[in-house]
Chain A
Amino acid sequence: MSNSFYREIINDHNLRPAHKHELDGANLTLRGVNPSCGDDITLKLLVEDDVVKDGAYTGDGCAISQASADMMLDLVIGKTKDEALDLYRLFDRMIKNEATEEEIEKLEEAGSLIDVSHMPARVKCAVLGWRTMSNMLEGE
């Protein structure tokens, strides 16, 4: 499975992330950690008028955790808080293998992580960025 899993789309987001950088002016910051494997990211968002105006992350981790966070930011920047939280819930359902193909299309590139639903050991890597975002937005 992994032979095909680490395909271009995940490798590309891992090696050339668009959103892995500092974000001056962010008004929300939260660290997300997977203690057992050492994925460790800090997610920063700029949220104004209930809209995610910008976002970025820094940190270390496996290709899945890093690529997933990057794809998530591609998707949620420009969306409202509620839309972003809906996407988180959809992503979470996809990873649990509970989402339809039609729904998964809404996740755009992040939909390529569907294979993780068959890789129990990597679920926490894939959802790290998403879980961190949802904790942030819901805690606001």
Chain B
Amino acid sequence: MDIKAVREDFPLLKEYGDIAYLDNAATTQKPYFVIEAEKNFYERENANPMRGLYELSQRATDIYEKARESVRDFINAKSTKEIVFTRNATESLNLLAYSYGELLEEGDEIAVTVVEHHSNLIPWQQIAKRKGLAIRWIECEDDGTISEEALKKAISDRTKIVAMTQISNVLGIENDIKKYARIAHEAGAIFVCDGAQSVPHIFVDVEELDVDFLVFSGHKMLGPMGIGVLYGKEKYLEKMPPFLFGGEMIEYVTREDSTWNELPHKFEAGTVNAAGATGLMAAIDYYKRLGFSNIIERENYLSRFAYNILKDIPEVNILGSRDADMHHGIFSFTVDGVHPHDIAEILSSDGICVRAGHHCAQVLMQHMKTMSTARASIAFYNTEEEIERFAESLSTLRRRMGYVK
């Protein structure tokens, strides 16, 4: 991969060549093609999709549905009926909790791992409170991985849903989703996979994994903010009630009651984000242009490169696995005696962007007995030089905070 040429595709990286952007797990930068696709929609295709019979509206509809097909192909779903556009992974999970939650009965159980992002945790916790369901916690190992035993311990014959992230946004570890979906199915539960960190960085094939639902966000995979995906097996989406009511999600409305549009429109109430979907399609095209396997190879290389440098800085403690390949470019860390917010502030003054805080995973933080960490996360367009700068800056922190070296 010609990294210099690739960086030329990203206007922000060109504009701010002196910053090292290492917060890719929060959101990625956008290539020119994505920005252009969204702009082009508003300049040339803009009309309300699925409403008008005139040609422009038809074009808007076509491009929106083409984007849906592109997503279907990217994750290898059977049908575009199984691809629901949402705002982001969070909204997809809320849709699931509200809608699938309606099908559950008092005493039913939902098994959730302790490493989940709040978006795969609070929707379940709150539907459980409203409907009298029980949350069962799937504990993790010291490195953050989920063992088969821990999963089996948390499920019973009352378990209706198992919710698990494929790649942790804090530790970067990957769970064996294929195996765990099978175990959930054997117990009579459905399996919900949070793909927010995995879909952008590894091959995710819903047929191969046999998950019942998969959620992810466009903006973490080079796409625009405000467009996300809920994949669901048709048989489940069919029996789920709508999440939001309003325009375009209905079939027939009377004073007394209404019937619902067919999939996936039943779950897409109101005017959709067609420009965002177009941008996401451009992002997927860009993945194909560079070659997804090239991207993965590059990210694995950078991940190992970063791990090997960071592990040799004595005051830096990397959380999670001791195996570089288990990090998928995500490194949460602490620096002895320096609070994560001070870490991020000083790195920022050196032009290095990292996240600090609880990373929307307070249950995991409590489990690890820490309040917060700093986190650096890598994408293929990062460079060795940026990672070296980051490490150099890290090794000056204690001195700059007034500790004598």
A residues with a Cβ closer than 8 A to B are 1-3, 5-6, 8, 11-12, 14-15, 36-38, 40, 60-64, 119, 122, 125
B357 contacts A62, C-beta separation under 8 Å: no
Given contacts A14-B402, A15-B402, A36-B357, contact A61 B339 (CB under 8 A): yes
Q: Tell whether, in the assembled complex, residue B371 and residue A38 are in contact, meaning their CB atoms are under 8 Å apart.
A: yes
Indicate if B348 sits at the interface (CB-CB under 8 A).
yes
Q: Size class of B's contact patch?
A: 10 to 19
| CB-nearest residue of chain A to B356 | A37
How far apart sit A5 and B400, CA to CA, in the bound complex (Å)? 10
Are the C-beta atoms of A62 and B339 separated by less than 8 Å? Answer: yes
B402–A62 contact, CB under 8 A? no
Query: Does the CB pair B342–A37 fall under 8 Å?
Result: no
CB atoms of A63 and B349 under 8 A apart: no
**Docked CA distance A5–B348 (Å):** 12
C-alpha spacing A5/B350, complex, angstroms: 13
**CB distance A11 to B402 under 8 Å?**
yes
B358 in the interface (beta carbon within 8 A): yes
Q: Within the complex, which residue of B346, B358, B372 is in contact with A6, where a contact is CB–CB below 8 Å?
A: B346
A61 CA to B342 CA in the complex, in Å?
10
Q: Please name the residue on chain A nearest to B373 by beta carbon.
A: A38
**Which residues of B in the span 346-373 have a Cβ within 8 Å of any Cβ on A?**
346, 348-349, 356-358, 371-372
Q: What's the minimum C-beta distance from B367 to chain A, rounded to whole angstroms?
A: 15
Known: A2-B345, A2-B346. Contact between A8 and B357, CB under 8 A? no
Partner pick for B402 among A12, A37, A40, A122, CB 8 A cutoff: A12
| A and B contact pairs by CB, cutoff 8 A, 8 listed | A6-B345, A6-B401, A6-B402, A14-B402, A38-B340, A38-B371, A62-B340, A62-B342
- Using CB atoms, name the residue of chain B closest to A36: B357
Is B341 in the interface zone, CB < 8 Å from A?
Answer: yes
Scoring B residues 318 to 347 as 1 if CB is less than 8 Å from chain A, else 0, what string do you get?
000000000000000000001111100110
Shortest CB–CB separation between residue A115 and chain B, in angstroms? Answer: 11
How distant is B103 from chain A, measured CB to nearest CB, in Å?
33
Q: Is B54 an interface residue (CB 8 A)?
A: no
B residues in contact with A8, CB < 8 Å: 402
- Of residues 254 through 298 on chain B, the ones whose CB sits less than 8 Å from some CB of chain A are none
A6 touches B400 (CB 8 A): yes
Interface centre among A6, A38, A119 (most CB of B within 10 A): A38
Q: CA A119 – CA B341 in complex, angstroms? A: 12
Query: How many Å from the CB of B400 to the closest CB on chain A?
Result: 6
Give complex CA distance A40, B346 in Å. 21
- The list of the 9 closest CB pairs from A to B, nearest first, reads A11-B402, A38-B371, A2-B349, A62-B339, A62-B341, A38-B372, A63-B342, A2-B345, A62-B342
Q: In the complex, what distance in Å separates the CA atom of A15 from the CA atom of B400?
A: 12
Measured CB to CB, the residues of B under 8 A from A are: 338-342, 345-346, 348-349, 356-358, 371-372, 400-403
Assuming A3-B400, A15-B403, A62-B342, what are 5 further A-B pairs, CB within 8 angstroms? A2-B345, A6-B345, A14-B401, A37-B341, A119-B345
Most buried by B among A37, A119, A125: A37
Q: How far is the CB of A35 from chain B (nearest CB, A)?
A: 9
Decide: A60 and B371 in contact? CB cutoff 8 A: yes
Cβ A40 vs Cβ B342 within 8 A? no
| A15: chain B residues within 8 A (beta carbon) | 401-403
Q: Which of chain A's residues has its CB closest to B339's CB? A: A62
For A3, the chain B residues whose CB sits under 8 A away are 346, 349, 400
A60–B371 CA distance with the chains assembled, in angstroms = 9
B344 to chain A, nearest CB (A): 9
Contacts of B339 in A (CB 8 A): 60-63
User: Which of B345, B349, B400 makes the CB contact (< 8 A) with A122?
Assistant: B345
Which residues does chain B contribute within 8 Å of A11, judged by CB atoms?
401-402
Chain A hits for B345, CB < 8 A: 2, 5-6, 119, 122
Chain B residues near A2: list those with CB within 8 A: 345-346, 348-349
A6-B401, A63-B342 as given contacts; A37 in contact with B349, CB under 8 Å: no
Do B358 and A63 touch (CB < 8 A)?
Answer: no
| Complex Cα–Cα for A125 and B345 (A) | 12
Which residue of the partner chain, among A5, A12, A37, A63, contacts B372 with CB atoms under 8 Å?
Answer: A37
**How distant is A33 from chain B, measured CB to nearest CB, in Å?**
10
Complex CA–CA separation, A6 to B403 (angstroms): 12
Bound-state CA distance A15–B337 (Å) is: 9
Complex Cα distance, B120 from A62, in Å, reads 29
B342–A6 CB distance below 8 A: yes
Q: Which residues of B contact A40 (CB under 8 A)?
A: 371
A2 to chain B: closest residue by CB: B349
How far, in whole Å, are A71 and B250 apart by their CA atoms in the complex? 62
A5 to B357, CA, bound (A): 20
Give A6 to B341 CA distance when docked, in angstroms.
Answer: 12
